[in-house]
Structure 1
Amino acid sequence: MNHAFVFNFIFFTLSVFLSSKTKAQQNYSGNSIFTCKNSDAAGPSATFLYTCNGFNKSCMAFLTFRSKSPYNSVNAISNLTSSNPKELARINGATLLTVFPPGKEVIVPVNCSCLTNDYYQAETKYILGQNPTYFVVANDTFQGLTTCDSLMRANPYGEFDLLPRMELQVPLRCACPTYHQKTNGTKYLLTYSVTWGDNISNIATRFNVTEGSLVDANGFSTQAQVLYPFTTVLIPFPSEPASPTTIVANDPPTPQDCSFKMCKSKKKTLLIALTTSVLVMCAFLFVLVLFLLRKKSVRLFKRRVRGKKKTGVFSEEIREEIAIIEHLSKVYRFEEIKEATENFSSKNRIEGSLFRGVFNNGKEVLAVKRMRGDVSKEVNLLKRINHFNLIKLQGYCENKACIYLVYEYMENGSLREWLSKNSSIEHQSWGRRIQIALDIANGLQYLHNFTEPCYVHKDINSGNILLNKDLRAKIAKFALVQESERMVISDCPTSRVVGSAGYLAPEYLEAGIVSTKMDVYAFGVVLLELLTGKDSIALQDGREVMLYEIIESIIGKEDEEEKVSLFIDPCLVENCRKASALQLVKLGLACLVQEPETRPNIEEVVSSLMKIQANDMQQSISPIISNNLSLER
């Protein structure tokens, strides 16, 4: 009797266990996830995560994520989802530097496990942006791969207690195959993020699975089940899903909670700015050339200016200057990098992880930067831009967890380093300082107006301006650059402040607003550094103050020209032309106005600098011309 009872008990227990493993994998959440106030008091609910009813408590699982700026590269997506970047690159047929087109469905491998007895999940973290809500994080940022209810449970913050820069724990929806699915050959489950127009039939066709397996895996009542955007369905696979199964899809509409504004620089404005800039440049080139040569009459000068404006001879040269040509960057072998830098010897170290390298049997000196993390944005941008005043990327090398970027070598280092030295004659050249300022402004003008889309550098400072052997300036370090047409500039600003202290515009610090005017602000700080030779942040009465605040206090006062000259770099005092110095100081302060809309745009800055440069050259050569005329007489 006792043996029979034990046998029947064991049989009953196994029957219950196996029956739990043979039921449908999960139930589809439907549109209930949009209420954000669901309960699972009566048992696990699909409005939270997938139920922990698989054969294994943990497994490798996969998600789909549609590429969308700023999460459009291998490293950016892997950081967002806490997945392995190498595995993500491999399964998508990509490299660590790959940037996906907008809307590309990317397969994301994750470690899925039952951290509680109720639900499967893959864990990641997310830093909140401006005006955050659980709903926006779940359905916009993570595209339905998590839910509002599961976010609220995973974090100690109430629905109305979220603040910018808070860190959220994010449980991602994933699952492991049931016993029934394992016996039918299913090895992996992919969590597919539903978008507009999806149905069971077209999903099954695209992923080459049967409609019946989808119905069974998701507890659908019928193959005609209505699917809602921002929900997920599970797709069973007998082997790893591959990148050819994914497509480029249209981006879903943005939730109403989060409005986006486009860059104010529209094509019409761009055309007007370009035309104005070209005409101004042509005019000043002619004025300068004719003044130096003094061989042409005023009538001829006017006729040539009119002629050039009509024929566009100089505009063709300018178009060649600003053309966006995607050049092929060389892919170096790691052995080449090691040999060039003598195995990264200390004698070849420039600073930090930047090394001097000698390539092509000693014929070419280049700079090699060893980096970790996501550099795809910087690499792909540098491949597309082509301007003398922007650092040139020669090539790159991938080796294990490191990326090695190979740049043109800048013999005079950074502007900050150069300003700290004061022994050379070049430091005493007033004209040299103006040319450096103009080089920086020209580089920014190219980024702001002559690329499509326009770009914001976001980290202009004297340490990121490099000088070549001829002391011509080039902008470097594009890690923070962003497309300004896609920037959130009011309701949904950037989630965290990045950049260099002392150079960040107030609207970015206070509200995360990103626009080309923040580069203009940073340029104003650099311009004052160029003039004074001082750091952007100075000590006054034992406290730190911005350099521009000290200088600003004397503008508009009596003898402002004389007082300004007291702040000029001592190396320049003898050669300093006080009128030009005052003009440059006022230009710098105009760039540092608190309200971004009242700052000049970069083309206005370039125009002002060209006028100052032309006047300065005129003052320089006037004594020489007078002496020559005296000798002729």
Structure 2
Amino acid sequence: MLQSTVPEIQQTNLEYVILFLKCLGIQNVLDFEFMDPPSQDNIVNSMYQLWVLGALNNVGDLTELGWKMVEFPLDPPLAKLLLMGEQFECLNEVLTIVSMLSVPSVFFRPKDREEESDAAREMFVVPESDHLTLVNVYEQWKVNEYMGDFLQVKGNSVLNCNNIYETSYACNSRNSTCQAFLIFRARYPYNSVPGIAALLSSNISEVARTNNVTRLTVFAADKEVVIPVDCSCSGLYYQATTMYYIPALSETYFMIANNTYQGLSTCNALLRRNKYGEFSLRPGLELLVPLRCACPTGKQAEKGSKYLMTYSIDVGDDILKVSKRFNVSVRNIVEANRFLSENSVLYPFTTILIPLPSEPLNLDTGDENHTKPIRSLSPPPATNVSKGKSKRNLYIGSGVATGFILLLLVVSWVIFLALFKKKAREVPRMSSSHEDILVEIATIDHVPKVFKFKELKHATRNFGSKNRIKGSVYWGVFRGEILAVKMAITDIYKEVNMLHKINHFNLIKLCGYCEHKGCFFLVYEYMKNGSLREWLTRTKSRETISWKKRIQIALDVANGLHYLHNFTKPGYIHKNINSGNILLDSNLRAKIGNFSLAKETDTSGTTWELVGTTGYMAPEYVEAGSVTSKMDIYAFGIVLLELVTGKDAVIVEESGEILLSAAVAEIMEGENAETKLDGFIEEHMREDDGLEIAYTIANLSLRCLTGEPSNRPSMEEIVSCLLKIQVNVHN
């Protein structure tokens, strides 16, 4: 113990004491009779600090701010910090800073472990501000559920969606945005330049240029591809953002982060940045995917590092191996990632930053397992041969080409004559029945155009970002007409063979297709107003709140399905009717699109390959794999409910997810159905006779949603009902 106790006044913050005395009306603090008076210099200096803070005016009186500051039992600078936090709408962050400044430092630095302690602290440092560093510490602690030892579980907890230490890189550079690079291993179906570029939202031309390949190159399995991305600060962390559309029921955040994106994102980051639960993902949902990237710090730039490349750790990797493969010094890697030493353990599915002095053009990693040859999709380079040999090859080549052309002409002529005779024998008789005429019209072959790839490139301006509609769909101008071009990574010929036989206003028109070096493209008519789902969620206008428009959309879809089921030979089941696959043209007329899952009615039966969109799949399909046209009618019933309520097929609430069909069924089957429905539908849809119309359509939708498929109405009955409803609608 000390020989004599330090007076209380000397242990207390003198600025707060002076502020409190001023509040009590004591004007001349210098003459105040303290029991253990502080020095006059200390009093004057404290008053000066209060004046700097704005708590005292020029004559030493409390200002309006000073009166507020005295309310807080805090040091005056912290009190003002809280007040400013409220003013600038960042109170949560300021509360964190004030709390951490009011207790002993969270950073512990024992004498025998100074270097290790400093390295651990560096993991959180935000150079611009010690205060932001404290916020960063708290945020990481919160992410790890307030565990005291969360620094120790950083690496090997990467597989846990809830407790993972988020390894996003803190914004610690002078630049808020920069060009960065990612390493992605080519794996089917993301093994081509277009496929990888679409997955990571990178520019196709830039991916091709960076890797010194063509725009349609298909890479060998596990070939490491360098992906340029735009990296920018989002809050406290850098990220490059992409969108991912869930294609299958079995997807989880873990699979998407570690399988699809190969650790370039994390399970935890996906869970935090999307509103869906960890195991409630369904086909058709759109996810925001933050990709790990970073910009060089000022210190790194001074040492010659102009770019940072994110590399996902593979099994067996260590710092020395990575250093050799990318020809980067161990020290630079250790400093860029703030490792304790070159012996730090690297965990699979985590990432490290590789500092680079220049763009990684045509990067050779020097590892045989990662430098497998790319499939050659362009002619081999010319070799030096003698002039005589060149001429001989030219003559041989010319002869072969001429012979081939003659053979092709003869075969084409034979095929033409055969088809002409067949058509002559099969000239249809004039049909007396209306349905026969419809069948004949529906089965007239519409021959889609086979586009040249250069036509698609020209029309879409090299598949530029300004022409991108969504995902891998672009718009382009073809001889003055706007069309939609969809890039596909799987065989399209099943869909082409189906669509060229279909002719109906309410089914999307296939204008043509293209296959170019292993990549496929479908060219459709352009639908100006996008999908029904997008239209329902846009800002409300006179058109979106019109019952007349909504019923016309329902009729269009019903007519399209009626034709698909009954007037094509063979008939087809769409299998994936949902508001995202219903497209609207410039006049808000609806057309059914996306026939990738369609199946002929002749081959209907059972399947154990469950594909579709959650909320729209019929119970007999989910439970027993039964595939019939009645599953389309069930899905159409859900679309009707979306048109009535404006809500999604699956409603996401804090308590969990609720199926729209179940919510409406509960209302309609209970007491006071109309009153309860009135509170469930959109407010602007209740005006005039809106509630009565909604009630009628809801009843029709519940008939479509009957559990027993045979009790559901046919599409012909549905069309008839909707026509009757339409007659009574005036707006």
With a CA cutoff of 8 Å and minimum separation of 6, indicate the structure with the bigger relative contact order.
Answer: 1
TM-score (norm 2): 0.40
